[in-house]
Structures are given as structure tokens and as C-alpha cells.
Amino acid sequence: MNPAQFWGGAAAPYEIEQSLRLYNGSNLYWTPSSTGNQTTFTQSGWIKRAGLTSNEFFLFLQNDSTNVGTYFLQIQQDPNDTLYFSQGPSGGYGRTLAYYRDPSAWYHVVGVADYNNSTVADRYRVYVNGERVPVSFNANYNTTTTAWNNNTYPQRIGWNGVSNSYYYTQGYVAEFHHVDGQALDPTDFGEFDDNGVWRPIAYTGSYGTNGWYLKFDPSATNGIGHDHSGNGNNFTASGFDTTNTTASTYDVMSDTPTTNWCTLNPLNINDSGFTYSNGNLDLSTGGGWETTTATFYTSSGKWYYEWTASSVYGQIIGITAYPYTNSNLGVDATSYGYQQDGRKWNNNTASSYGATWTNGDVIGVAYNLDDNEITFYKNGVSQGVAFTGITSLPVSPAISIFYGSGSTNFGQRAFAYTPPTGYKALNTANLPAPTVKDGSQYFNTVLYTGTNATNAITGVGFAPNFVWVKRRSASGDHILSDSVRTAGKYLSSNLTASEVTSTDFGSFDSDGFTVNAVDQTGGLNSNGNTYAAWNWLAANGTEALTTGSINSTVSANPSAGFSIVSYTGTGSAGATVGHGLGVEPSMIIIKNRDDSASSFWCVYHKSAYVSGADPNVLYLNSTQAQTDDTNVWGSSPDFNSTTFELGDYNGSNGSGDDLIAYCFAEVEGYSKFGSYVGQGDNDTAPFIYTGHKPAWILVKRATGTGDWTIYDVKRDTYNPASKDLVPNSATSEPSVGMIGDILSNGFKIRNQQNVAGQTYIYASFASHPFGGDGVSPATAR
């Protein structure tokens, strides 16, 4: 039985039931009996990466008679995990500009050979997740033919030998097609669903003489190498375990593009001594405490996973809140573990708990986030409730090892022991149904070019209530306008200046907004200049709130965690303002509209604290660090589900002045506000889990000076994300910024915003939730 079906959760319209795990030389091969079409063919496959440090991930490979890999489409680790197409002895190759190093979800890769195409640039095309990606070809690239489909060369998946050096796939493969004689589109194999997520569909066309289709079904006539195209081009499988369903060696998994499963996360920052293997399910280290987390964090529900121990000498198994930066589980107050000597750990305290365990024992971890408790099992026997009062959420499975190894199972293969009643395995179909299934319904980025004339900007997808515009190609002020103040009024985040009244921002429209003649700084519509516009949806119309001591006018969208609040300051500390969100805000941005002197942009962020229980303030127009300025929020301010409290600072509560506040609350799977600590080294730079595939990210060093920076997926359509814009500056868009990766479940810092020991705050809005009941799982990026 498919574990995904056993545990419930909604299935995609087209369900892929299994994938094949490839590692350490396991591979499949087949040699054509005749030469096929060497100018026109299409190859399609789904992959989930695991070995991010391995040299190559082979998708399709054809070896010549000397066993040297010559013709292939692969992800190559050097340089930088690009997709790479080689033509073999001629030395011709093409390489994508995009990097593919997301181990938490699935990629769909389509390679199309179309050498009779009249457009030379279209003779070999690569698509990832339904979108064509740019490829750079070298001077030796042959634009007329390839040697694929040669009847003397074996086709191989998962292995290559080059001059007696062997390179192996580390990861998962599913739904592989080779179509001989046709140049097809990715839409023959996949589609964008109603929420804009790329997902697989059944291929219904023909395959040609040398075509094949591998489903990796162990029950098929010829096992996992059976050709389901009907051509009988069956592959020979080598090095796989397809019989021991509960063993850690079993290689047929329920981890698929339609039901993505949890694995260990090699992007974790505290695991430099770990070796990840066998599809990121196995773990080992040679000495010194190391801790890793997994690719899933959850805030509610009942969850179960297993750890099979081997080479046991110092191991602690359990869960941890995000982020985890200590050497072993239980050192801090938000991590919980069970050690092999029978003790349990939390808050740097060990106490007697259960049985000891050793090599070959299976430790079950059942954590109940509805009742805030965790129970451990040894070989199916409960050791009793270990901890209660687990309230720091979300949490992830976590493994600490001093020396030794072991294997995790999150349910992608059969569990060794039956989980306790009501507990689920960690896959995307079992995650709660997201409130926001398509982030672009509430936030969207639109890029446009100025005309210095009436210019209707469309493609937002909704009628925006808050629009933030920045000129990219030259310097220019940030322009922030909202429907509460009306379109003719705007403020600039890089200035302390009071509100500008102008006809340059013409109107808010049903699918965007209209800008008119250019203003003096070129901030909206300078002819030929490029712009980014970030758009949020609040609500149609406004409502008057009397929940605070200051009456406010609010346009609120609680389901998306966003409201625009207009109010008149009193100048008195302790004043409160209603925000309309229904939950406590995670971030608030306030600007005095009337005064320019002493009226900085005040930012409250839930993670901005220097010490004590009171929040600090950051200033959007400034590089300065967070500060304990009690005049902004008050000495002991209250931020709750109905109001936020102010001090007597002119910028947040100027007497008789009109002010505007943009209020944001977390919505699971759509928005996230948090912090991380820089590591200084790119190899151990932080991975930030958001629970969604980000569309927009704002980052600021909180404990030191530094720019605010904004990244989005419309300007950076593929990784690395390198085009930052700076809210506190009028500077244009640089070509190199963060140099990090936006991923299926968060983002990975790799260069900037990573000073060792410094705390950074961030805000992120989603293109798609990572997963959830009733939605397609997010693809890898």
C-alpha cells in the first residue's frame, strides 16, 4: 500500500505512485537494437536532488563503446549545480545560467532536441517546471545533429564512468520519458494547476521506435526497469533493493512529485561534519556533536517518524523549534531529545527517562502539537510521555550525533512499527489545508517600463490597495501609495519627507494601477526606465474602528494578514490603535504623513529585541541597528489581536498629525516573519524555513548597521537571487546582491546578509505554500 494513501491527504488529479532512489552506483541501462532519430527527440523526467556535494546528477546518459559518458543531460555540481547538456567527443555543450540546489522538493526537467529548427537557438531547449530556461552553448556545440540513439551505445540513468572515474546520481527519479522522433513541449507532460503550481499529467502521445517510459514499478513484469511505453525497451536495474520494504536499504519510495515527503536537510547550518547519503535519509559523522533538522516544520497536528540506529556512540533523537544553532539537542529550551543512554534532554538538562538503545534499534518519535507533548518509542514500545508544554512552534524532526550513523524514515517507505493511532507521516498531502492556496491572489510583483505618458500597469491579478514602486535602471525614490490615502498621495521609504500630493500616480485599477507623467525624480514613469511594483491586496473600501483609544480608518484583509490603517496622532504615550487583523501583528510599518522633521519610518518586527520583553524599533529609511526607543512604542507596549500601542514619538504618534500604518500578520503557508543569525561563512550560511515558496523577501541586519534589502522572483526568475533593491536608498538595482537561493520551502543565504553573530530580521510572502491538503506541492527552484 502506498503510505501516502494510507495516511490520507488529498491526491493530485494525476497521481505518481512511486519514485526510485539512486545512490552509490545504482543505475539502470538499456542498449537500443537500432539507431533512432538523432536530430529530433524529447526527454522528460522528475528529479529530487540529494547529493548537493556530489559531482554530477545524471538524468539521461548515453555511453560510447569505451564506457565513457559522452551524450547526456545532467545537473553538474561544478560549477554551481547547473543543468548541462553534453554532445560528447566534439567538446560541445550547453549550460543553464540557473543553479538547481533545492533538496526539499521536485524538479521537472524536459530536454528537447530539435536540430531541424530554422532558429539555431531553438535547436536544443531546456525546460524546468514548465518554463524554458536560458542556456549558453560553447563554440564547439554542434547545431545539426547529436549521437543520441546510436544502436551501439547503452542509455543509462544514474551512473557515468569517465576515464575510469565514476560519478553517481544521489537522489530520486520519477516518471521518465524518452520520445524518439518528436520535439514536444513541457505541456505534453505537465500543466499549471488553478493555483499556478506546475504538476505532472499523463503523457498520451506515441514514443517512436527507441522511445521508452519508466515508472519504476517493482510489481511490473520486468520490475523497476519495465518499459511502460509498449515498445518493450526494458532497462536492466543494477544495485537496487526492491524487496525489503521496511529496511533502510529499500529504494522504491512514495516520495513523488504529487506527494512530496520529508527528508533530512543538507542546507542546515549546524552540520558541517555530517555526511548525508541514500536520498538524505541516512546520516553519519566521524566525531564531535552535530545536529541536523529536516525539510518539514509543523505547528499543529500529530506526527511520527523513525530512526534506525547504527554505530551508536552518542546519539540524541527528537525535535526542535526553528532555528536550531546549538551542537546537540536539548541544550536550549526549545529542543527535546532522547539519548541512547536512556536519558531525555531539554533546556540543557538531562534526566532519567526510558530504556537504553543501541545498534539496530528503531526509535519512534511521536510528537503531538495539538496537546504539546512528545513520546518516544523503542522498537514499538512506548517509553511514556517525555515532555509536555511544547509551545515554541513550528518544530522539525532533528538528529544529533557525536559519533556514528543511522537512518531516518518519515514514511516514504513502510514503517518498521505501527505508529500510534491518529499520528501522521510527514508528507505534503498531510499538512493542513492552506488558507491561501495561491499567493499571487494577495501579493504580486509586476515589472514595467516607463513611458512618460499615461501608462496602465496591468497583470497584478487583483485590484491592489497598497503599491510600492521602485525604479530599477536608475536611481529614484521608492514610491508607496495606498487606497486609504487615495492614489494621488504617496510617501518615499528612503526619505523622511512628508506626504506628496501628485497626479503622477493616477489610479488604482481592477488589475493594477495607472501612472501618468513622470515626477521630478523619475520615481514612477520615466521614459524607457524599468520599474518593479510590489502589490498587496487589503479590502474593498474602508471601515472605521473604535477598538483603540485613537479612532482609525482601516482597510483590512485578515485572511491574508494585511491591513492599512490611517489615524490621527495624539502625542500621548499609551495611545492604542485598532488594526483589524484579528490576530497579533508580526510587523508594522508607520509613517507620519504631515511632518518631515523627526518623522522616520518606524518599523515594529516581532523578532526585533535587544534585551528584555519590550520590542525595539527599526527605521525603514535608515541603516541603523534596532534600538530600544521607548518613545516610539512606549515603555511597555502592548501588541495584541485588536490594537497596537504607541509612545509619544512624532514619527508614530505626532499630535494632530495624520499617520499611515501597514500592518502584517503571519498566515501559515503564505507569509512569514522571523530572524536568523549570520554565520560569516558561505558553506554554513543560514537556511531560513518559511513554509512556502517565497515570491518576495525583505531582510535587514537588526543588531548592527546595514541596508534593508528586497528580493523577488520576478526580477530573479531563477537562482541565485542577486538583484536587490534597498528601501532606505534611491540607488538603482545592482547586478549582484544577496547571491542566495529562493527555495520551495524558504531561502538559503550564501553571501550578503550573513555577518557572523549578527541577528537579521526578515519578512517573506509566498508564491505558493510548500504543501497542504488539497494543493499541489511546490516545485523545487
pLDDT digits (tens, 9 = 90+) for 638-692: 999 999 999 999 999 999 999 999 999 999 999 999 999 988 876 678 899 999 9
In a domain, 775, yes or no: no
State the pLDDT at residue 169.
83
**For 738-764, what is the mean pLDDT?**
90
Rounded average pLDDT over 334-359? 97
Q: Is the pLDDT at 737 greater than 70, yes or no?
A: no
**Band (13; pLDDT cuts 50, 70, 90):** confident
Domain that holds residue 50: 21-253
Does any domain span residue 7?
no
Does position 97 have pLDDT exceeding 70, yes or no? yes
In a domain, 160, yes or no: yes
Q: How many domains does the chain have?
A: 5
Residues 424 and 455 both lie in one domain = no
pLDDT of residue 79: 61
Q: How far is CA 351 from CA 98, 341, 343, 346, 388, in A?
A: 49, 11, 5, 9, 14
**Domain containing 110 — which CATH number?**
2.60.120.200
The DSSP 8-state label assigned to residue 631 in this structure reads: H
Q: Are strands 198-200 and 40-49 parallel, antiparallel or unpaired?
A: unpaired
- Looking at this protein, which amino acid is placed at residue 9? G
Q: Does 61 share its domain with 208? A: yes
Q: Report the DSSP beta bridge partners of residue 644.
A: 577, 639
pLDDT of residue 597: 72
What span, in angstroms and rounded, lies between the C-alpha atoms of 295 and 746? 10
pLDDT of residue 738: 66
Instruction: Check whether 7 has a pLDDT greater than 60.
Output: no
Q: Average per-residue pLDDT in the chain?
A: 91
Question: 403 exposed, middle or buried (CB, 10 Å; 0-12, 13-18, 19+)?
Answer: middle
Query: Which cell goes with 128?
Result: 524546468
Q: How many CA atoms lie within 13 A of 206 on its CB side?
A: 6
User: Could you give phi then psi for residue 496, rounded to 5 degrees?
Assistant: -90, 0
Strands, DSSP E only, in 8-151? 19-22, 27-30, 40-49, 56-63, 69-76, 82-86, 93-96, 107-114, 124-128, 131-132, 135-137
Inside any domain, residue 265: no
pLDDT tens track for 413-439: 999 999 999 999 999 999 999 999 999
Domain boundary among 430, 461, 493: 430
Render pLDDT for 471-514 as a digit per residue (tens, 0 to 9): 999 999 999 999 999 988 999 999 999 999 988 899 999 999 99
Residue 557, C-alpha cell as written in the block: 484583509
| Residue 483, domain member (yes or no) | yes
Instruction: Point out the domain boundary residue: 664, 687, 707.
Output: 664
Is 100 domain-assigned?
Answer: yes
Name the nearest CA neighbour of 5 among 200, 248, 258, 224. Answer: 258
Same domain? 520 vs 556: no
Using one digit for the tens of pLDDT, what is the confidence trace for 23-79? 888 899 999 999 999 899 999 999 999 977 665 666 777 776 555 556 777 777 656
Give the integer Cα–Cα distance in Å for 406 and 384. Answer: 23
Contact yes or no for 649/632 (Cβ under 8 A): yes
Same domain, 141 and 207: yes
Residues 485 and 633 in one domain: no
Residue 225 backbone dihedrals phi, psi, to 5 degrees: -95, 10
User: E strands within 433-511?
Assistant: 443-449, 455-457, 466-471, 479-482, 489-490, 500-501, 505-509
Number of helices followed by number of strands (H, E) in the chain: 3, 56
Residue 366, CB-side half-sphere exposure with 13 Å CA sphere: 22
Assigned domain for 16 exists: no
Q: Where a domain ends, among 608, 631, 664?
A: 664
Cβ atoms 608, 620 nearer than 8 A? no
Strand ranges across the sheet with 530-536 = 443-449, 530-536, 466-471, 479-482
Assess whether 40 and 95 both reside in one domain. Answer: yes
Ramachandran category for residue 570: left, alpha or beta (phi over 0 → left; psi -120 to 50 → alpha): alpha
